[in-house]
Amino acid sequence: MPGEQPPDYESLSRLDGKTVMVIGGSQGAGRHVCHALSQFGASVLCVGRNIPATQAVAREVGGEAIIADFAIRAEAERAFELAGRGQLHGIVDAAGSPQVNRFEDITDAQWTSQFDAVLLPALASLQIGARLIAQSGGGAITLIGSIAGSAALPGVGPAYGSAKAALHHLTRIAATRLGPQGVRVNAIAPGVIMTPEKSASRGEEWVRRAVQMHPLRRLVTGQDVAALALFLNCDLARNLTGQVIVCDAGLTTQTDFPPMPSSVPSRATDRPERT
């Protein structure tokens, strides 16, 4: 029997005529996001604090560079004012680098600065940027979280993990508030994003052991984050909001627990009879 006419799924994946702002787009995963969005037709606003790096990425993707620190509200407002001269259809917030400190040693100032770096750019995006997206007919805000927001990872600062956990919950809250305005809000929670620089600094043995800990036997890269950000910004994801999508090659689907010895009964009925 003939059913509903299938849509043109390829066109739903395109971003032609749409403008997307990438906060933290001058390096790392943010740079990959800029390239992914641009390749599917989006006009990219590349936001960063490092002037040469931000301008370089903007040139790579044929976009526009905006120099701003989104942890400072006045600079975020100025950036959105520039973006508001046209139409804005999406935001990807990849800002907020992790501090490296021990739980026992972290200071109040370090705690505050880490939360500011992670949450203030997201808050500005949700309060100011969302209005521009709604005025453009709706779109998406994608926040880059971390598996550190849901699991205690060795070597990851406690403030960073706590701030990312707050970011994940902020995603859910904002999705309910902004949904009626046509603004979808989702988060991506990647695992440890591996770069050539990280691989070189940690050594071949560390990388080999890390790979073996992942069920897919590979590490997460910036392109994995970019692929998800691309999906969340296109109409293929039109009914996806309030989600925290884990991208970690399966790392957090398991626990580091010793396997049960083969001699241990697996069921109550397998227990040996007493004599």
Instruction: Please list the active-site residues.
Output: 160
Concatenating the DSSP letter of every residue in 119-136 gives HHHHHHIIIIIHHHHHHT
Which residues are registered as beta bridge partners of 66? 47
| Other Cβ atoms within 10 Å of 265 Cβ, number | 10
Q: How far is Cα 192 from Cα 153, in angstroms, rounded to an integer?
A: 10
Place of tokens 């004599």: 275
**Percent of residues in the chain assigned helix, strand, coil, to nearest 5:** 45, 15, 40
Helix (H, G, I), strand (E, B) or coil at 66: strand
C-alpha closest to that of 99 among 115, 79, 86, 83: 115
Q: How far is Cα 79 from Cα 67, in angstroms, rounded to an integer?
A: 8
| Integer CA distances (angstroms), 173 to 134, 170, 177, 179, 241, in order | 17, 5, 7, 10, 10
